[in-house]
Amino acid sequence: MVAGAALVAVAIDEHGRAVTTTTTTTTTTTTEPAPPTTANWSALAASLAGSLVLPSDPTYAGDALLYNAKFVDLRPRAIAYCASASDVARCVDFAGEHQVALAARSGGHSYGGYSSCAGLVVDVSRLSSISLDAGASSATVGAGAKLIDVYNGLARYDRLLPSGSCPTVGIAGITLGGGIGVFARKYGLTLDNLRQLELVTADGRVVTASDVDHADLLWASRGGGGGNFAIATSFTFTLHPIPEVTLFTLQYPWPAAAALLEAWQHWIAAAPDELWADCQLLSQGGYGYLAQTSGVYCGSPAALTALLASLEGAIGTAASYRFIGAKDYMDAMAIEAGCAGISVAACRLSTQGPAGTLSRSAYSAKSSYVDGPMSAAAIAGVVAAVERLATDAPTVGGALAFDAYGGAINRVAADASAFVHRDKLACIQATYSWSSATPDSEIEAGARWLTWLGAEVFDPTSGAYQNYIDPTLADWPRAYYGANLPRLEDVKRRYDPENRFTFAQSIPRAS
């Protein structure tokens, strides 16, 4: 599952930029800075401990790409690979001085492409260090660290941080927007484990947000989404001992899809915190349909087998494939990441290291939530929606995936952090993906399918997950932030009064 995505991506609204006004007794003169010259860019490059990539550089075309291969026309004016928080501050100051659009990039997984802009991309991927305290109870992680490296680095000390599954996602974006993953019902979302973070604010200051200092900024950074208040440069997280880990997968013939979803939703609602599971209904192009549930259990295979017995009995159809087995923690995370059987070094994009074997993918997505068990009619509608995609776009792969909430996620008050979705049974992610060989007509049919889902299948009152940021979502402020929006707007006003950090779905300032 794509996780995701959404990073500390920011932009400056060039239509709403601040200006310097000089007033005399007779006239008012407004002066705007001139666009940066070649000399200005050279001066910025010379000031950085990292490096600056310009369109004339041979690596520019690759450096400009995001993870999602549908974003093919990105042309930032420069990409700064920052080696320190001071580098980030210099970039923020430069953008403010020259009124250049600004975007921060960690893993580059923003579903809306907000990890890039037409101006200066601040890439924090070199800020990827991982250090543990003496007792291995917490770790400080650079904002550019990728999930596979976080998992591997912590596992050496028998520790884990609950987070997503996609190995090349940057820690910044997933933390700032949420962080659902296979240990979330036991240990909470990634943001629930955030103790403090270092950020560069709109005025170029490097600050630490904690329960003591800038507590409102810490609150907003726990679920307020990337790109709204500042650029994060490091995070300090609470860690957990690695438990015994058991995985399972049950696959069913398509006629049992409705029975699977019906049974799964009641089963997971009553499951112990140690169990996390999803339910996926997939259209696999020429490979037909697939209905499956899979998950991770903090415990033994025998205990998980007993828990699964009630689910299998309620479905009433024998699984066409059944697996239950204990796994080493890193083996389990590699399986969840789609990297089974390959090394950690290989579980990266080919551009992220010489041994990287993973490729970018092209996809679009939409999310919603399930507040409680769905009716039989609603479940039938979900099954029919997958079949509709197969009819409208027969060679496109797509799915409706239900990720379980509950447990530790739902025991946090809705206003204790900016993440408001604390009363959900599951999050739904609808996705479809394509290749370079896919006809444009089918890619367009997939887009229409997502629009139809949002209007006719999903419950518009249930909200949407801000890390699956959706440029087509109309009432996105309410969907992402609900009752927490006014407080987020106030934090925005106080930390970014000139609205320098802005993009198409950034939090507005309180008036």
pLDDT of residue 299: 98
- Residue 287 belongs to a domain: yes
Q: Which pTM does this prediction carry?
A: 0.92
Closest CA to 244 of 315, 134, 331: 331
pLDDT of residue 227: 86
- Residue 443 belongs to a domain: yes
- Residue 260 belongs to a domain: yes
Quick one: 206 and 349 in the same domain?
Answer: no
Q: Which of 241, 267, 298 is the last residue of a domain?
A: 241
pLDDT band at 32 (very low <50, low <70, confident <90, very high): low
Quick one: 214 and 307 in the same domain?
Answer: no
The answer to whether residue 7 scores a pLDDT higher than 80 is no
Interior angle at CA 17, CA 16 and CA 22, nearest 5: 120
In this prediction, residues 440-464 reach a mean pLDDT of 97
Residue 445 neighbours by CB distance under 10 Å:
18
Contact 164, 249 (CB under 8 A): no
pLDDT band at 31 (very low <50, low <70, confident <90, very high): low
Q: Give tens-digit pLDDT for 363-389.
A: 999 999 999 999 999 999 999 999 999
The answer to whether residue 469 scores a pLDDT higher than 80 is yes
Quick one: 218 and 289 in the same domain?
Answer: no
Quick one: 315 and 449 in the same domain?
Answer: yes
CATH number of domain containing 424: 3.40.462.20
Helix axis angle for 376-392 and 257-269, nearest 10°, is 130
Quick one: 229 and 267 in the same domain?
Answer: no
- Bridge partners (DSSP) of residue 120 are 78, 102
CATH number of domain containing 189: 3.30.465.10
pLDDT band at 10 (very low <50, low <70, confident <90, very high): very low
For 435, which DSSP code?
Answer: -
The proportion of the chain whose per-residue pLDDT surpasses 70, expressed as a percent, equals 94
In this prediction, residues 191-207 reach a mean pLDDT of 98
Q: Give tens-digit pLDDT for 260-304.
A: 999 999 999 999 999 999 999 999 998 999 999 999 999 999 999
Quick one: 229 and 357 in the same domain?
Answer: no
Q: Give tens-digit pLDDT for 123-166.
A: 999 999 999 999 999 999 999 999 999 999 999 999 999 999 99
For 37, which DSSP code?
Answer: P
- Residue 173 belongs to a domain: yes
The answer to whether residue 230 scores a pLDDT higher than 50 is yes
Domain around 204: 130-241
The proportion of the chain whose per-residue pLDDT surpasses 90, expressed as a percent, equals 91
Who has greater pLDDT, 502 or 297?
Answer: 297
- Residue 168 belongs to a domain: yes
Q: Which of 189, 209, 241 is the last residue of a domain?
A: 241
Number of domains within the chain:
2
Quick one: 430 and 460 in the same domain?
Answer: yes
- Residue 444 belongs to a domain: yes
Quick one: 372 and 301 in the same domain?
Answer: yes
- Residue 20 belongs to a domain: no
Q: 436, exposed or middle or buried, with CB in 10 Å at 0-12, 13-18, 19+?
A: exposed
Structure tokens at 175: 């933390």
The answer to whether residue 180 scores a pLDDT higher than 70 is yes
Quick one: 439 and 362 in the same domain?
Answer: yes
Contact 200, 206 (CB under 8 A): yes
Quick one: 172 and 289 in the same domain?
Answer: no
- Residue 307 belongs to a domain: yes
Contact 125, 87 (CB under 8 A): no
Say how far apart CA 485 and CA 310 lie, in whole Å: 40
Q: Which of 190, 225, 241 is the last residue of a domain?
A: 241
Quick one: 401 and 457 in the same domain?
Answer: yes
Quick one: 257 and 187 in the same domain?
Answer: no
